[in-house]
């Protein structure tokens, strides 16, 4: 009964239930407090998280000769698979495997002449030689740069409301060149985070620091310039945490991290390292450091281009804890430093250079591990740690921890070579398996965690367009230089600010450059990109989403660029003799010959169509097949 006018409260649970749930744990906490013991040590909460300990030296598991394995990687996977009573899948056929290798390494299909070359190579290591040839291809750097630019949130506009164009393509060119040259990953890291702080820093090393000038920028007419400056520092810190540490350190901006050992004070120690850049926004009085770089334009003329680079204030800017994450509410002053969980007690002056050097030290538990896992994700669709941007306690544990540690130590001891790491993956039995559906795996391992078959997934937005251009003969392989403006539906992707200009479609060969060079407008990226799950690059993207929608099918059929590719492909087929048309179409689009059933079906179907439409029908259907859209 309640008195009149009072409110009756009803708990969603009974008090006895609450007592039974809370008291045992609370009681143990009280006992621990009385005995002077830390609750975490009794509960196991202070046990070192696997990712915060240096990678272990682990032996390669013993295997059976009958397993016919090619690489130590295979031994780790075979050992796990065998323990679960399942077997690895057979090797994919050479045509399918060559296409997989080409799409993964170059983002392009196998040409008919390339197919003929490896078909005529009857040596035992023909596919290995194919791997080596494509690792040395300049297209390799373009394909790998695509994923790095997602991490670097590369774009050709500032973001925010006005989304004004800005010059960032010099950084993109630096990334492509560095990857093609197989710059060791530790040096690749050092130059992007602190190239300007190196003794006698070269022009290229300064351009490399454009990595952190990719953050979104407010314009000079915004009165809240300090707020946006702080946002830029927060962004740089968050991106650094995801890309090199594999940690969600942004959680500690407002309070101590709820599950990883990073306090709010730790966070602002890192913040202080990145708080020394003289930069507010694009057109503020202090707009940020630039470099007068000379480059040749498309006509061969030498032009001066401003490269946006990093620099350091002559007078250090003090850093304070932001209470509740509010930059206007200052707490205690903090000095530059790293989180206490990683501090080995060595005295040093912390700045961007010493921080980058600490990241790439051999004893660092995360940097190499995170890089190896992300590289695995590139070729196997998922990392061994599926939360590739979160190695913390709430991230997924690795499916093959010993394999991850073994590869990490091999990566470090092998000079941090990405090409060598990629070659290890691509020459393994695990990589070369068939991707065909298996009932036994679907029941025991529906997510393919144990890697008993190759993954099968839709190609990225860039690769879909580039593949269509290559098959149709339209692709222009010119590398580097300013971004281009390929065709897009009218009225789509116009700049938000009236002073910033409009999308002026490129003319001539620039219309058919690789998608990597398409002008990237943050607030409205090219629709061919967003339709197929490319990010806006307003923030760092470690793993792209992957959707399957009706709009994608409609875009492949009706997008102006795709229609143009289909017509060009059809024109090429029209010039071939009728007897060779079907085979050549399959070779160009699918990198294989039609089988007996397909040959009979297509021959009968095309004979029923008007002669002047057969090539167009064949081209359109092949460029919209699941097999064309999928990496198998």
Distance, in Å, from the CA atom of 503 to the CA atom of 493, rounded to the nearest integer, reads: 7
> What does the block give as tokens for 425?
């993956």
Q: Look at residues 87, 83, 94 and name the one whose alpha carbon lies nearest to residue 68.
A: 87
Backbone angles phi, psi at 292, to 5 degrees: -70, 80
CB-based contact 627:475 (threshold 8 Å): no
Rounded Cα–Cα distance for residues 480 and 532 (Å): 24
Interatomic CA distance for residues 586 and 459, integer angstroms = 18
Q: What are phi and psi of 558, to 5 degrees?
A: -120, -15
Give me 179's structure tokens: 């990857």
C-alpha distances in Å from residue 87, one per residue of 68, 80, 222, 344? 12, 10, 61, 44
What is the distance between the alpha carbons of residues 422 and 418, in angstroms, rounded to a whole number? 6
pLDDT averaged per 10 residues in sequence order, the chain, 632 residues: 44 44 43 39 60 96 90 97 94 96 98 93 90 98 98 94 88 98 98 97 97 86 80 96 96 93 96 88 57 79 90 94 95 96 90 98 96 98 97 96 98 98 98 95 93 97 98 96 90 58 86 96 91 96 96 94 96 93 96 96 94 95 97 96
CB-based contact 168:213 (threshold 8 Å) = yes
With H, G, I as helix, E, B as strand and everything else as coil, classify residue 476: strand
The pLDDT score that the predictor gives to residue 42 is 34
Pairing mode, if any, of strands 302-308 and 319-322? unpaired
Q: DSSP letters of 264-329?
A: HHHHHHHHHHTS------SSSSS---EEEEEEE-TTS-EEEEEEE-----SSPPPEEEEGGG-TTS
Contact 454, 101 (CB under 8 A): no
3-class DSSP state of 621: helix
What pLDDT was estimated at residue 498? 56
Q: What is the pTM of this model?
A: 0.91
Q: How many CB atoms lie within 10 A of CB 276?
A: 19
The tokens for 506 are: 């490129």
Place of tokens 């046990």: 47
Distance, in Å, from the CA atom of 22 to the CA atom of 29, rounded to the nearest integer, reads 11
Contacts of 47 (CB under 8 A, 6+ apart): none
What pLDDT sits at residue 10? 47
SS (H, E, C) 400-451: CHHHHHHHHHHHHHCCCCHHHHHHHHHCCCCCCECCCCCHHHHHHCCCCCCC
- Which residues lie below 8 Å from residue 490, measured CB to CB, with a gap of 6+? none
> Can you give the pLDDT at residue 499?
52
Bridge partners of residue 292, in order along the sequence:
306
- How far apart, in Å, do the first and last CA atoms of the chain sit? 69
Residue 67, pLDDT score: 85
Question: How far is it, in rounded angstroms, from Cα 615 to Cα 582?
Answer: 9
N residues, the chain: 632
Read off the pLDDT of residues 398-413 as tens digits, 9 standing for 90 and up: 999 999 999 999 999 9
Sorted by where each begins, the domain ranges of the chain are 1-44, 153-245+248-363, 459-632
C-alpha 230/C-alpha 12 separation (Å) is 43
Q: What is the DSSP letter of 479?
A: -
Mapped onto helix, strand or coil, the DSSP state of residue 142 is helix
Per-residue confidence (pLDDT) for residue 7, from 0 to 100: 45
Number of C-beta neighbours around residue 188 at 10 A: 22
Contact 208, 308 (CB under 8 A): no
Going by C-beta distance under 8 Å and a sequence separation of 6 or more, which residues neighbour residue 262?
247, 249, 251, 252, 256, 339, 341
The neighbour count for residue 476, using CB atoms within 10 Å, is 14
312 vs 194, 305, 352, 587, CA distance in Å? Answer: 10, 22, 9, 55
């Amino acid at each position: 009964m309640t008195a009149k006018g009072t409110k009756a409260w009803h708990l969603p649970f009974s008090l006895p239930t609450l007592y039974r749930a809370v008291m045992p744990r609370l009681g143990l906490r009280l006992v621990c407090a009385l005995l002077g013991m830390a609750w975490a040590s009794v509960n196991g909460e202070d046990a070192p998280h696997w990712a915060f300990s240096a990678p272990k030296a682990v032996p390669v598991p013993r295997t059976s000769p009958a397993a016919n394995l090619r690489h130590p990687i295979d031994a780790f996977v075979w050992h796990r698979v065998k323990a679960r009573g399942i077997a690895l899948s057979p090797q994919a056929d050479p045509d399918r495997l060559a296409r997989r290798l080409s799409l993964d390494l170059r983002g392009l299909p196998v040409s008919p002449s390339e197919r003929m070359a490896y078909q005529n190579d009857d040596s035992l290591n023909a596919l290995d030689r194919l791997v080596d040839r494509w690792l040395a291809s300049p297209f390799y750097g373009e394909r790998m740069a695509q994923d790095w630019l997602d991490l670097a949130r590369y774009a050709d506009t500032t973001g925010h409301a006005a989304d004004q164009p800005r010059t960032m393509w010099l950084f993109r060119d630096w990334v492509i060149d560095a990857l093609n040259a197989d710059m060791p990953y530790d040096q690749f890291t050092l130059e992007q985070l602190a190239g300007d702080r190196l003794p006698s820093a070269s022009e290229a090393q300064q351009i490399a620091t454009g990595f952190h000038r990719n953050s979104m920028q407010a314009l000079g007419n915004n009165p809240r310039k300090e707020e946006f400056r702080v946002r830029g520092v927060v962004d740089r810190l968050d991106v650094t945490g995801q890309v090199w540490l594999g940690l969600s350190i942004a959680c500690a901006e407002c309070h101590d991290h709820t599950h990883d050992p990073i306090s709010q004070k730790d966070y602002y120690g890192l913040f202080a390292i990145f708080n020394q850049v003289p930069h507010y926004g694009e057109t503020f009085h202090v707009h940020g450091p630039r470099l007068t770089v000379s480059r040749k334009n498309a006509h061969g003329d030498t032009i001066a281009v401003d490269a946006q680079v990093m620099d350091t204030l002559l007078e250090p800017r003090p850093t304070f804890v932001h209470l509740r994450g509010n930059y206007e509410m200052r707490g205690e002053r903090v000095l530059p430093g790293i989180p206490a969980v990683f501090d080995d007690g060595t005295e040093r002056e912390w700045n961007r250079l010493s921080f980058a050097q600490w990241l790439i030290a051999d004893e660092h538990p995360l940097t190499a591990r995170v890089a190896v896992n992300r590289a695995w994700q590139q070729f196997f669709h998922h990392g061994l740690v599926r939360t590739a941007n979160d190695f913390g306690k709430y991230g997924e544990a690795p499916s093959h921890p010993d394999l991850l540690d073994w590869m990490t130590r091999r990566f470090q001891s092998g000079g941090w070579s990405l090409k060598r790491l990629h070659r290890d993956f691509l020459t393994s039995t695990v990589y070369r398996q068939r991707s065909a559906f298996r009932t036994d795996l679907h029941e025991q391992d529906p997510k393919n965690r144990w890697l008993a078959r190759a993954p099968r997934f839709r190609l990225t937005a860039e690769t879909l367009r580039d593949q269509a251009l290559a098959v149709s003969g339209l692709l222009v392989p010119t590398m580097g230089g300013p971004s281009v403006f390929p065709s897009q539906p009218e009225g789509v992707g116009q700049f938000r600010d009236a002073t910033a200009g409009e999308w002026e479609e490129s003319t001539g060969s620039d219309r058919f450059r690789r998608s990597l060079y398409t002008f990237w407008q943050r607030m409205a990226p090219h629709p061919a990109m967003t339709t197929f799950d490319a990010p806006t690059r307003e923030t760092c993207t470690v793993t792209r989403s992957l959707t399957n929608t009706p709009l994608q099918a409609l875009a492949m059929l009706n997008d102006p660029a795709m229609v143009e590719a289909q017509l060009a492909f059809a024109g090429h087929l029209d010039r071939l003799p009728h007897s060779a048309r079907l085979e050549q179409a399959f070779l160009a689009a699918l990198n294989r010959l039609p089988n007996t059933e397909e040959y009979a079906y297509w021959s009968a179907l095309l004979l029923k169509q008007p002669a002047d439409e057969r090539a167009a029908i064949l081209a359109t259907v092949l460029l919209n097949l699941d097999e064309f859209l999928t990496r198998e």
